[in-house]
Amino acid sequence: MKIKRILPVLFFVLFFVINQHGIYGKLALDSTVTEQTLKINTVEDGNSIIIGNARFSLITPYLIRLEYSAAKKFEDRPTIRAVNLPEPIKIKSVKQENNRIIVVSENIRVKYSPGEGSFSAKNLAIS
């Protein structure tokens, strides 16, 4: 009975420690990405990508965290709303079409134009 109460706490602590040490798979892209489709290196979770000053992190199949930082410094604390997920949600591919970067997961597609400042309707579309 005690194990059932302790497991969620242990999971949260493990998640926090992993997140603090940056063990998530990430891919950093400049604004000058080639026209070819890029595959994300799914080392560890493979659920975050940095494009210029923006970071996109898949939290659940239908939830993505968007962060913009001119200094490229991002929050690395865990998301409390998404504790105890069965497995990490992975980014499937990243490609460039004209000046937009397209990040694709199983259920989410993000189109982002880096270099146009913080997020706005002009440089970001999510479907």
Average confidence (pLDDT) over 86-100: 81
Average confidence (pLDDT) over 78-98: 76
State whether residue 6 is helix, strand or coil.
helix
Res. 38 pLDDT band, cuts 50 70 90: very low
Q: What is the pLDDT of residues 94-119, one digit of tens each?
A: 888 888 889 898 899 999 988 878 99
Q: What is the C-alpha separation between 106 and 103, in angstroms, rounded?
A: 10
Which residues, in sequence order, are CB contacts of 47 under 8 Å at separation 6+?
24, 25, 57, 58, 59, 88, 89, 90, 91
Residue 120 has pLDDT above 70, yes or no: yes
Q: pTM value?
A: 0.63
What pLDDT, on a 0 to 100 scale, did the predictor assign at position 5? 52
